[in-house]
Chain A
Amino acid sequence: MERILFGDNQFFAVNHISDEKSRSQAIRFKSDEAIVKTLDNAMESGVNTFMCTTHDRIGNICGVIRNNPEKYKDFKIYPCMPYAHKYANAVTELGIMGTLKAFVPGNFLGSMFKGGVAFLSKDYISMMELLIDAEMKMFKGINTPVIFLQNVVTDLLLGLNMTDILVGFYNHVKKKYNAEAGFITMNMPKLLQILEDAGIQNPIICSSINKSGFRMSGGRALYEKVLAEKKFRPIAMQVFGGGAIQAKEALEYVCSLPQIESILFGASSKANIEDTVSTIHAFDSKPAIAEAEH
């Protein structure tokens, strides 16, 4: 994975600190062109990986990428599925069964219910695979070397102790898409433990990691201990602590931690993207300079 990954929250009005900012982002990124332009800005700064949720509008962005193969030949997308609000709003309206009926393709559910026989484990895994395939459709022909499960699903399965489903996601992504599975979580230490227990070696885990301890369940000290002692491939997200920390201080902290393979961030303006990228590179090269000086 590249050191810096570009996120998509700003494109879809996801803002953890202000509903007003959310709205202004929704207005700013109303057109797909605005999104593509910002992605191009990220590319110009040397960031070639876009980590994005499987929002309907990403389908249009994928179209642009497919139509410009030369320009985007080094460009990668890390899909994060599902776009949770699509399902959450549907569950509120249709209930869980209604939502599954609406989103699982074909007549899978219908045939499952026929005859009233007991459901088999493979039925659940097959259903999950169909849902993954439905979400992956829009990425056809695009380089997607890592595919992520969104935190709301990862953490729901974690709390429900449904490790087999997490493993099922890992296996399907590997087998069908020749990709690595990644897991987004707000409970990194707990998740890493159960993945290790299930025999998944060196998993890719994307979690909040920031100086203010924001959304680091169990506390910052525990996260730092896990980063120092356990072997996995961590991605740090929410590095600015939802806006609570100054950019420089925030990035210095994350760059100083051991093992962090990638840093995920999102920004709307060219200047912000350039600033963040150069600050990360500056902090990354610091220890080397310090060593050379000694």
Chain B
Amino acid sequence: MINVALIGAGKMGLSHLAILGAHPEVKVVGVCDTAKLITEALTKYSGFNCYTDYLEMIEEVKPDAVFVAVPTKLHAPIVEKLIAKGIHIFAEKPFGLNPEEGIPLVKMAKEHNIVNMVGYHTKFVGTFQEVKKIVDLNLIGDIYHFQAEAYGPVVIKNKQNNWRADPSEGGGCLMDYTCHVIDLLNYLIAPVTEVYSSIIKPIFSSHVDDAVYALMKLDNDVTGVLSVNWSDETYRKMSTSITIIGTKGKIISDASELKVYFKNEFDCPPGYSKGWNVKNVTELTEDVDFYLRGEEYSAQIDYFIQAIMGKTENNINTFETACQTDQIIQMIKQKAVAL
């Protein structure tokens, strides 16, 4: 049994908490949040041990692992204290407000040998896992272009009044939405090493960006386009997709459907043939023991717990790769053209 505590019972925190609550290897030993409405409900109905001070909680319940799901600006100070105590950490994305915050934490986590993970759940989606396999096997020839996109209906009118509307607290489409796409891109093809130019555009928000467009180069010299917009109400929910074009084929994938085109029969892996191939997430998804919102949310938590138990390696969504993503976000900011 792994004793787990949660700091921050907001949208992601509650989602994690429900999955943890149903996980057979986990005991939830404490929950910390400042909203009384939430903590009293969790005390009354769920019987969780609730706190308003996370340090007090850590002292009292001595968790093996902690989920940090507070607003981004609070990640670094909390994570630092937890690492110092040798506690395994799952932090929400993005890892920090900037890479300067994250870099020392990456080093510290290594020194303290803790299991560390950041909640980039998209990597656990079946279609994207299949993309990774095809790319790693070099099956579509020399990749020469990518298009990485995400659209959704978060801010669709002139009204916003919380930490997500404040750039100093980690609000905005770049910090909240775009990080997912960059992180996925880094993982699927190669890390972004250069941002040639970018457009960071407010649409409905007055203080933060609602759309981000950029031209980028990856570590393997592949170039491509990033296009993200969270003010697009033609999408029912966040939709992330990636297109990868190579000399021998092409991949188009979102979280529901994977389409792969192979130029030659002999380049096709088992289960694929020359021309277009379509696979759905339903056939690429592994079952989970408890489902809430999507298999990937349960799968990433299970991966974290398995890593703590020593049953799997801790090399997906580490602080290090998440911090790399933060570095690229900073590069996009630096290369933004004046509008």
Contact = CB atoms under 8 A, between A and B. Distances in A.
Interface stretch (B283-291, B315-323, B329-337): B283-291
B17 A85 contact: no
B35 interface: yes
Interface in A117-156: 118-119, 121, 124, 152, 155-156
B327 to A, nearest CB: 25
Given A19-B257, A85-B237, A161-B47, A97 B37 contact: yes
A46 interface: no
Nearest to B285: A214
Given A17-B256, A18-B280, A214-B282, A91 B11 contact: yes
A15 B237 CA distance: 12
B45 A124 contact: yes
Contact of B256 (A18, A157, A216): A18
B17 A159 contact: yes
Given A119-B36, A217-B290, A161 B21 contact: yes
B31 to A, nearest CB: 10
Contacts of B10: 91, 95-96
A94 interface: yes
A291 to B, nearest CB: 35
Contact of B46 (A162, A186, A218): A162
Contacts of A93: 154-155, 160, 162, 164
A242 B280 contact: yes
B46 A160 contact: yes
B293 interface: yes
Contacts of B280: 16-18, 242-244
B15 interface: yes
B99 interface: no
Contacts of B108: none
A200 B16 CA distance: 27
B291 A155 contact: yes
B35 A159 contact: no
B40 interface: yes
B268 interface: no
Contacts of A12: 236
A88 interface: yes
Interface in A168-214: 186-187, 190, 212-214
B18 A158 contact: yes
Contacts of B15: 156
Contact of B287 (A16, A96, A164, A216): A216
Interface string B44-87: 11110000000000000000000000000000000000000000
A279 interface: no
Contact of B18 (A15, A159, A213): A159
Contact of B282 (A16, A85, A152): A16
Interface size, B (range): 35 or more
B109 interface: no
Given A17-B256, A242-B282, A152 B293 contact: yes
A62 interface: no
B292 A159 contact: yes
A276 interface: no
B318 to A, nearest CB: 25
Contact of A19 (B40, B155, B239, B288): B239
Interface string B253-267: 010110000000000
B1 interface: no
B257 to A, nearest CB: 5
B239 A159 contact: no
Chain B CB within 10 A, most for which of A13, A14, A89, A216: A89
A190 B22 contact: yes
Chain A CB within 10 A, most for which of B14, B17, B280: B280
A165 interface: yes
B44 A121 contact: yes
B152 to A, nearest CB: 8
Given A89-B154, A93-B155, A162-B46, 15 more contacts: A18-B280, A19-B257, A88-B237, A89-B153, A92-B176, A93-B164, A96-B38, A152-B293, A159-B18, A159-B20, A160-B14, A162-B45, A186-B291, A187-B291, A243-B282
- A-B CB proximity, top 6 nearest: A159-B18, A242-B282, A186-B291, A17-B280, A162-B45, A159-B21
24 contacts: A13-B236, A19-B254, A91-B11, A92-B164, A93-B162, A96-B11, A96-B14, A96-B38, A97-B37, A119-B40, A152-B293, A155-B292, A157-B18, A158-B18, A159-B19, A160-B42, A161-B21, A162-B45, A190-B22, A190-B290, A214-B282, A215-B291, A242-B280, A244-B283
